[in-house]
Chains A and B, each alone.
Chain A
């Protein structure tokens, strides 16, 4: 819990820097921050050299705060955009998640989401190592089969169809997660090839098949 309080203080200090606000006391960070547990969190942060006595972030503090904000905002995107929850639910769950995710998991989530630049509120998501790599090799971890370059081969990561019947129909052709498929054409209709079988699909189904590039 103490740990969560330090995270919370760092997060709010980051917001203040982001919004160009001057911080002189804990009260400047928001009404719900100013209580005993947060005050002891500040002492702990000062002892760790993350924050100086006038409540300014040090370099290490900035790095820690950046990672927390990144986790928070990526979690928001994950819940809001990828899972389709409401913004309130996304936000409250993100508040919990920001304390738990390891950096490796966060980078995977970031890659999965295609390295989003902003959160659902429109605020910038601090970049991670994965994003710097991404600027060189422009492949997200998982993408819709219809977004593959024509001719590219990928393996199916998961299929998220609207109906079970669709899943069964694809399965009858042997198209299940793990199968290797190739995008043959995107227009005028989506055509994929699995082994020696070529199948024309509804575009909507092409958007429901998620693949991982080899």
Chain B
């Protein structure tokens, strides 16, 4: 094998949910999150490997982009370097769509390798058919390799094919008018954009291409577009579909996914108008039991009371006392606001077990293919709040982490929807860490308290969503969502995902916990904490009816609201909060901005003006609701 002069740049491109990220992990030995729903990857990820730099991209349906994550993938193709190779990942059971994209990639004038993934499913009884990769390769004019990223079939052969990748010879012939317009456009396009694919996209009226075109040729492009019968996009797609079908027929390939098996039937039940709801209730009950009872109950109790309460903290205090450190150091490490006794106890004993159990549960859900079916089930309800079923994905992901979910709003097809979902995530969707703590706090209070909290949170999502749908300009996008096949989750992938997410949590959250604790400690050390508590007491004590001590939870809640919730959790355990106060405090901290990271992502994704407006609204709304609840409790003499 000849050694290339500079390392190859290998771009993985393909339809959504065909396994690009899994192949990325296989080629780079680096973890990339893999799930069974379209839109797991919304950002470009790259990592080096022995065969070159591997770049993972969000899924695309066509090279005429429809959403911002598709634009990202398309732009990457346009920025291709001299030494770039495109590896198209496709579903072997879905040749028609795969070849449709292959033909478009061929028009981008790049060396291409087509890998038909999930070849194992074709042999395991899930799929049906025969696919002769070399016959297809003959038709495409580039290497075609049938692989299974999951079972690691033919990965070696794919690596070899990447090394000797060539530009495909397959080409679609369009109508005379289109071909003439393409021929006219090609010479005037700047050299980096000079390919049939770009010329065709211009004729099809791809608005996302505009910013990339030099201003001097815009008029000529418009003229060329007007010279072809419109809608040219449809004429072009029809020609491509016909060419893809002809190509598959020539290669004598036929494949499909078998229908009617048990998994497909379960999948159908999950989105059934009658059975869907009981199944959802079952899923939620399981989550409640697994995360609320086992994670937030049994595991947190043991970690907090026994591991930290009996072993680690007393021994650390004992050890430190023996060293006779200055009081400042002693208090900083193991005092009331100590790094060990507060930050690490909260982070490791209270939040970590919840995060781990939640992500274990959530990963199973992700890998089965349940989430897109949930989107189908909830589509109508979401319509009422100005969204469509597709928005279920980021909203449910928000239960894992609001920050990540805010990035996932990129899969939504309109700016209006992205804005509404970003707001609702920050306002009404508690993240896993917080949710676990909340479940743990609500569990001893009984059903009425839990119903008030759930009612207000869901009511807020409904009300604010309904209002936002009327305030935020723009039209709602159509609901068009691909439903992946139901699959059996693999234990390895789940363990990898849980480990990766736990690692991410420890890296991202724990430092913030420590910073927050040190801040509290310093404020306390200089006696400023009492001042802040007194200053905020009209709000906290009179408005919300909480003890002044609860101010601390809200101060650190600005950093991460799960940290604030953990503070309330310890106050409740120590008996410093009545059930009424617990519900008010929990509701306010739920509606609060999730964390600094989420705020930053909000500002980045939605722009400073929209981001700060949302943040200000959330602040006022959350405390306003808390004060309202407190007043109502007093007015009606509610004692929980």
Contact = CB atoms under 8 A, between A and B. Distances in A.
A30 interface: no
B377 A188 contact: yes
Nearest to B413: A169
A37 interface: no
A191 B271 contact: yes
Interface in A96-144: none
B64 interface: yes
Interface in A179-214: 179, 184-185, 187-189, 191, 193, 195-202, 204-205
A176 interface: yes
Contacts of A196: 91, 93-94, 97, 127, 255-257
A83 interface: no
A161 B481 CA distance: 17
A173 B61 contact: yes
B238 interface: yes
Contact of A185 (B61, B91, B268): B268
A174 interface: yes
A24 interface: no
Contacts of A177: 238
B639 interface: no
A169 B377 contact: no
A171 B377 contact: no
Contacts of B231: 164, 167
Contacts of A204: 478
B273 A200 contact: no
Interface string B477-489: 0111111110000
A173 B481 CA distance: 10
B259 to A, nearest CB: 8
Contact of A188 (B93, B255, B273, B483): B273
B100 A168 contact: no
A195 B93 CA distance: 8
Contacts of A164: 231, 233-234
Given A188-B273, A197-B482, A200-B481, A171 B389 contact: no
A36 interface: no
Contacts of B91: 196
Contacts of B268: 184-185
Given A174-B100, A185-B271, A197 B237 contact: no
A204 B97 CA distance: 24
Contact of B478 (A185, A187, A197, A202): A202
Interface string B213-257: 000000000000000000101100110010010000000000111
B58 interface: no
Among B97, B372, B380, the one with the most A-chain Cβ atoms within 10 Å of its Cβ is B97
Given A184-B268, A185-B268, A188-B276, A171 B479 contact: no
B483 A189 contact: no
A166 interface: yes
Interface in A19-55: none
Interface residues of A, number: 32
B234 A171 contact: yes
Which label, helix, strand, loop or mixed, suits the secondary structure of the B interface? mixed
Among A169, A189, A196, the one with the most B-chain Cβ atoms within 10 Å of its Cβ is A196
Given A164-B231, A176-B241, A185-B268, A169 B478 contact: yes
Contacts of B234: 164, 167-168, 171, 176
Contacts of B241: 171, 174, 176, 178-179
A157 interface: no
A170 interface: yes
A201 B375 CA distance: 11
B97 A174 contact: yes
A188 B62 contact: no
B481 A166 contact: no
Nearest to A192: B483
Nearest to A188: B273
A172 interface: yes
Given A168-B234, A195-B256, A196-B93, A185 B272 contact: yes
B564 to A, nearest CB: 37
B66 A166 contact: no
A195 B483 contact: no
Given A168-B234, A174-B100, A191-B376, A201 B479 contact: yes
A166 B94 CA distance: 22
Contacts of B372: 200
Contacts of A178: 241
Contacts of A200: 271, 372, 375-376, 379, 389, 479-483
A173 B101 CA distance: 10
A89 to B, nearest CB: 26
B58 to A, nearest CB: 14
Nearest to A164: B231
B20 interface: no
Interface string B416-441: 00000000000000000000000000
B388 interface: yes
Contacts of B485: 198
A189 B233 CA distance: 28
Nearest to B63: A172
A198 B66 CA distance: 18
A208 B377 CA distance: 21
A171 B271 contact: no
A166 B66 CA distance: 10
Contacts of B482: 173, 197-200
A202 B477 CA distance: 10
A195 B97 contact: yes
A102 to B, nearest CB: 30
A180 to B, nearest CB: 10
A198 B127 CA distance: 15
B97 A199 contact: no
B96 interface: yes
A168 B237 contact: yes
Contacts of B388: 202
Interface of B: 61-62, 64, 66, 91, 93-94, 96-97, 100, 127, 231, 233-234, 237-238, 241, 244, 255-257, 259, 268, 271-273, 276, 372, 375-377, 379-380, 388-389, 478-485
30 contacts: A164-B231, A167-B234, A168-B64, A168-B237, A171-B62, A171-B233, A173-B61, A174-B241, A174-B244, A176-B237, A177-B238, A184-B268, A185-B271, A185-B272, A188-B271, A189-B379, A195-B256, A196-B94, A196-B127, A196-B255, A196-B256, A197-B482, A198-B485, A199-B482, A199-B483, A200-B372, A200-B376, A200-B483, A201-B478, A202-B479
Given A173-B482, A201-B478, 16 more contacts: A167-B233, A169-B61, A171-B237, A172-B66, A174-B100, A184-B268, A187-B273, A189-B377, A195-B96, A196-B256, A198-B483, A199-B481, A199-B482, A200-B479, A200-B480, A201-B480
Give the top 5 A-B pairs by smallest Cβ distance, nearest first. A172-B61, A172-B62, A196-B94, A187-B273, A171-B237
